[in-house]
A and B are shown apart, each in its own frame.
Chain A
């Protein structure tokens, strides 16, 4: 079964694109540019919300562990998906949200568990797509743990390619 992801090319959903990039070796996903974000699973089933798309992609490729490895981790992943959608995307004054993230990352390399999960993908995508976040992180000494985590992920392969290909479009659209 081939999945088909259509993305809004003027405001690309970085989180969904990153997740698609991570699962593409395990499930076949084709990406097309269009007007709206949509994941077509079958004739009857489609998802249009970015978090639903990433959740579905993570669940069809359970071997990658993107949804955590136990119930506690799954709940933590859900927490961060909610955080990225509500506290970062489209919000102004992001300082309290970043302070909370900094606190959480002080003793962690990845947000949930000991490997990469959807939580990292979606929060990274939200920060990458926000001009205000980029400006705050550019100031030296502010939120060191967020900066370390962000630049660590940014240096990894799928993040580099997704960042190069889509993030500039996104920043331009956000202005």
Chain B
């Protein structure tokens, strides 16, 4: 899972030469093999490294504040989202929905590396939502739909059907 994601991320970043990855331990933590020195361990570490390798530092945030927000969401992805219990999913979606109300991307008005990584992490959850739930978390749905249509992000994942006009308009506000 994480390995497919990393090769999609390489394409998104425009890296031509694919890297070799392996996994470590029971939780299948990804490891990037390097020719010189020890391998890099962990999704966030590798993703940050690939972004620098692609010479796209803006994707890690363009100001100190933005960089902190990007790191925060990368950490959120690994600690809260990955392997979260079924009963936590609603809480995650609710929080994310509130957070995204006034934002197009996780870090504000510009795309960052946190967007594709959160998209990959949320995909299986959004896939299982019913139509009315997608509308309940409409800010998440809007961001998700934007990400899956963003050039080169979706890649290895199937598209999720999303309504673009509201159906259940009463009783939400």
Write the residues of chain A forming the contact surface with B, with a CB cutoff of 8 angstroms. 103-104, 106-109, 114, 144, 147-148, 151-152, 155-156
Tell me whether A107 and B162 are in contact in the complex, defined as CB-CB below 8 angstroms, given that A114-B146, A151-B109, A152-B109 are known contacts. yes
Q: What residues make up the interface of B, taking CB atoms closer than 8 Å to A?
A: 101-104, 109-110, 135, 138, 141-143, 145-146, 149-150, 162-166, 169
Enumerate 20 A-B pairs (CB-CB under 8 Å) in ascending A order: A103-B169, A104-B165, A106-B166, A107-B141, A107-B145, A107-B163, A107-B164, A108-B142, A108-B164, A109-B104, A109-B142, A109-B143, A114-B150, A144-B102, A147-B102, A148-B102, A151-B102, A152-B104, A155-B109, A155-B110
A148 and B163 contact, CB distance less than 8 A: no
Chain A to chain B: the 8 pairs with minimum beta-carbon distance, closest first: A114-B149, A155-B109, A109-B146, A152-B104, A148-B102, A107-B142, A107-B164, A152-B109
User: How distant is the Cα of A152 from the Cα of B149 in the complex, in angstroms?
Assistant: 17
A156-B109 Cα distance, complex, nearest whole Å = 8
Q: Are B166 and A148 in contact (CB under 8 A)?
A: no
Please, which residue of chain A has its CB at the minimum distance from the CB of B110? A155
A144 to B, closest residue via Cβ: B101
Contact status A148-B103, CB under 8 Å? yes
- B142–A106 CB distance below 8 A: yes
Give A74 Cβ to nearest chain B Cβ, in Å.
Answer: 16
Q: A141 vs B149: C-alpha distance in the bound complex, in angstroms?
A: 28
* B166 pairs with A103, CB closer than 8 A: yes
- A-side contacts of B163, CB under 8 Å: 107
Q: For residue A109, which residues in chain B have a CB less than 8 angstroms away from its CB?
A: 104, 142-143, 145-146
Complex interface: chain B residues within 8 A of A148 (CB)? 101-104
Q: Which A residue sits closest to B102, measured CB to CB?
A: A148
Residues of B within 8 Å of A152, CB to CB, are 104, 109
Q: How far is the CA of A95 from the CA of B101 in the complex (A)?
A: 20
